[in-house]
Structure 1
Amino acid sequence: MKALIPAAGFGSRLRPLTFSRPKPVLPVAGQPIIAYALQHLRSVGIEDIAIVTSDATEAPLRAALADWPDVTYLRQAYMGGLGHAVAGAEEWADGDDLCVMLADNLFEHSPAGLLQAFRDGGAHAALALIEVEDPRAFGVAELDGEGASGRVRSIVEKPEQPETNLAVAGLYCFTPRIFEALRQVPVSARGELELTDAISWLIRDGAVVRGYRQPGWWKDTGRPADLLEANAWMLARQGSVQRGTVEHSLVQGNVVIEAGAQVCRSVIVGPAYIGPDAVIEDARLGPGVSVGRGAQVIGAIVRHSILEAGACVSGLSGTLSDSILGQGAQLSRQPATSYHQCLMPDASTLSIAGD
């Protein structure tokens, strides 16, 4: 089996963060989002992995994944939808089964259970399904049986009155028959080739399509709040590692302090991640804070936030919370209020005189 990770889009709902970089390279708990997909796929023994890119996203993806040299990059000619991204990989797949995992989806557990349901059930396709409170924003599957897996009877995209609460998550397995299905379905009203339409075609054509109730949590990191929630989840899973320097400071809970980082006269409350060469002075961090390589927090209180590489927060009079600062963003000298919330793109500066 091979694996495909579609990652050609920039992610408009995460602007301004994605004006300069695509969504899959944004960091969660110190790693690019897409790195978690790669780790999950490798954990189940899939070594042949391709990432679908575009003209605009390939360079930043290659740069962010420099530690993953054995990945293949496939160029999507235009933004033609998820089905179009999969269809373009037919020659590369070369007759093998295919696991498709979306670059911006985070799963607590690996695809092992889905792969077993796919292989043991003699399926032509298998879909990871997640129980959600409000399924109207998702593709919704009707499943035979109440067990961990069953045959999918139908998929309805964003139904007004869902028959079930089983949302189709961004994780699939296919035999090469998916490429036949993609050739049979027309583009949708929004001008895209929809993978959901191809799966529905398989069901109508009598193919075996299995649904698997994926355990644990799942997050589509489409919006800033989703990114922050995912960051907190992933931080909570890490252990405690201290490779950097800690002086006259208190560190509580699960905290990773990478090599070259300096923590001085500060309080760190986990879960938190402090990247290589970061500087934390006279500050209070956490919980739920991720600080990127070379970032600085000086004379500030920061909680439930992501500070990317080279970002700097200094001299705040209140608490910075629920915020994301892009690479090299600079935030300082806020007014004397108790709470601040910011979404700052790369290389931006916000400096306001205090009261």
Structure 2
Amino acid sequence: MKALVLSGGAGTRLRPITHTCAKQLVLVANKPVLFYGLEAIAEAGITDVGIVVGDTASEIERAVGDGSAFGLDITYIRQSAPLGLAHAVLIAREFLGDEDFVMYLGDNFIVGGIADLVDEFRSSRPDAQILLTKVPDPSAFGVAELDVSGKVVNLEEKPAVPRSDLALVGAFLLTPAVHEAVRGIEPSARGELEITDALQWLIDHRCDVRSTTISGYWKDTGNVIDMLEVNRAVLERVGGRVDGWVDADSEIIGQVTIEAGAEIRGSRIVGPAVIGANTLVVDSYVGPSTSIAPDCRIESSEIEFSIILAECTVRGVRRIEGSLIGQKAEVTPATGVRAAHRLVLGDHSKVRISS
């Protein structure tokens, strides 16, 4: 069995962060989102992995390499444009051959991994098996309709009027039957070959398409709110440890990871939280659900429920929360200006100001 990991999307919902970083490489608990998926695949006993890449191919390849760090053998497959999940299957035909495979979206996060699901698929081997979960806004996802017996009867991508609240999770277990399906469908109204259409093609041709509804934690990390929520969920599952240096005037409470080379001086850190290698935290408060990447400098500030990426400086800021701050950013107080905000923002930025 092989795996096909999709890492070619543009990440428009995470701009401006994704203007300079592939969305699959944004850090969650100081580790790229993509790495969690690769680890889940390795834990399921799959070692032959194809990664579909696009404009950020060089970044993905630098980060993942040949896959040996994960116990995987990686093949990179170039997609000229993000033309849909079924298009990714189409261009990966040579790599996939006639083997079963799991297709995993590189910006998705499934707590608990996929090992049990892969085992179930291997033992029963339907033509396709999809994962579903209930969501409050199904119109933003692929949506499945089940009959009274629980059989999948209809699949639709981002419907205006959803037929159920069951969304497709970003992992699909597929047999070679899907190759005829992706060749047999037409692009959707948005110009993409949809995997939902390919799966519907299988259903219409009386193939065995089964579903598993998961109650565990799943998130598509395509926007800032979901990214922060995933960060919180991961941090809650990480045990604390102190490999860096904490002075006697600091207080560490709960599950806090302080990586090697980090220094905490006169500060209070309340977990779950992680402080990256070689980061300096001075006279500050870092609250729950916060990850601070390596080589940052936090001084006289308060941060909570946030992701701070590498080489950032935050100095003299009273309160930051619910924020995602990009690499090498500087956040400091305005000087000499009363009751005013000074902003330098990139295209597509979103700012919420407490006046």
**TM-score normalised according to structure 2 size:** 0.90
Q: 1:87 is matched with which residue: 90, 96, 104?
A: 90
1:57-81 alpha-carbon deviations (Å, 9 max, x no partner): 1111122335944422111122211
- For residues 330 and 191 of structure 2, what CA distance do their matches in structure 1 show? 40
- For residues 240 and 186 of structure 1, what CA distance do their matches in structure 2 show? 51
- For residues 244 and 166 of structure 1, what CA distance do their matches in structure 2 show? 45
Offset, 1:136? 2.3
- For residues 180 and 49 of structure 1, what CA distance do their matches in structure 2 show? 21
Offset, 1:343? 11
Contact conserved, 1:324 with 1:344, CA < 8 A, in 2?
no
1:227-249 alpha-carbon deviations (Å, 9 max, x no partner): 11111111111001111111121
Q: How does 1:145-294 map to 2 (within 5 A)?
A: 151-247=151-247, 248-294=249-295
Report the counterpart of residue 140 of structure 2 in structure 1.
137
Contact conserved, 1:325 with 1:344, CA < 8 A, in 2?
no
Alpha carbons of structure 1 residues 59 and 290: separation in structure 2 relative to 1, 3 Å = same
Contact conserved, 1:329 with 1:344, CA < 8 A, in 2?
no
For the residue of structure 1 that corresponds to 2:236, the secondary structure is helix
Contact conserved, 1:323 with 1:343, CA < 8 A, in 2?
no
Q: How does 1:296-311 map to 2 (within 5 A)?
A: 296-311=297-312
For the residue of structure 2 that corresponds to 1:84, the secondary structure is helix
- For residues 205 and 343 of structure 1, what CA distance do their matches in structure 2 show? 55
For the residue of structure 2 that corresponds to 1:113, the secondary structure is helix
Offset, 1:311? 0.7
Report the counterpart of residue 353 of structure 1 in structure 2.
none
Contact conserved, 1:17 with 1:344, CA < 8 A, in 2?
no
- For residues 12 and 44 of structure 1, what CA distance do their matches in structure 2 show? 31
Report the counterpart of residue 57 of structure 1 in structure 2.
56
1:169-190 alpha-carbon deviations (Å, 9 max, x no partner): 1110100111110001111121
1:258-311 alpha-carbon deviations (Å, 9 max, x no partner): 111111110000010111111111110011111111111111111111111101
- For residues 62 and 326 of structure 2, what CA distance do their matches in structure 1 show? 16
Gaps of 5+ in 1: 349-355
- Check if 1:125 corresponds to 2:128: yes
Gaps of 5+ in 2: 350-355
- For residues 300 and 22 of structure 1, what CA distance do their matches in structure 2 show? 29
Offset, 1:321? 1.0
Contact conserved, 1:283 with 1:301, CA < 8 A, in 2?
yes
- For residues 236 and 211 of structure 2, what CA distance do their matches in structure 1 show? 29
- How large is the RMSD of aligned CA atoms in angstroms? 2.3
Contact conserved, 2:24 with 2:33, CA < 8 A, in 1?
yes
- For residues 344 and 58 of structure 1, what CA distance do their matches in structure 2 show? 26
Alpha carbons of structure 1 residues 273 and 37: separation in structure 2 relative to 1, 3 Å = same
- For residues 143 and 197 of structure 2, what CA distance do their matches in structure 1 show? 13
For the residue of structure 1 that corresponds to 2:216, the secondary structure is coil
Report the counterpart of residue 322 of structure 1 in structure 2.
322
Aligned residue-pair number:
339
- For residues 157 and 61 of structure 2, what CA distance do their matches in structure 1 show? 33
**TM-score normalised according to structure 1 size:** 0.90
Report the counterpart of residue 8 of structure 1 in structure 2.
8
Offset, 1:327? 1.0
- For residues 343 and 173 of structure 1, what CA distance do their matches in structure 2 show? 45
1:111-150 alpha-carbon deviations (Å, 9 max, x no partner): 133324423333010101011123222222123567xxx5
- For residues 235 and 23 of structure 1, what CA distance do their matches in structure 2 show? 20
- For residues 89 and 154 of structure 1, what CA distance do their matches in structure 2 show? 26
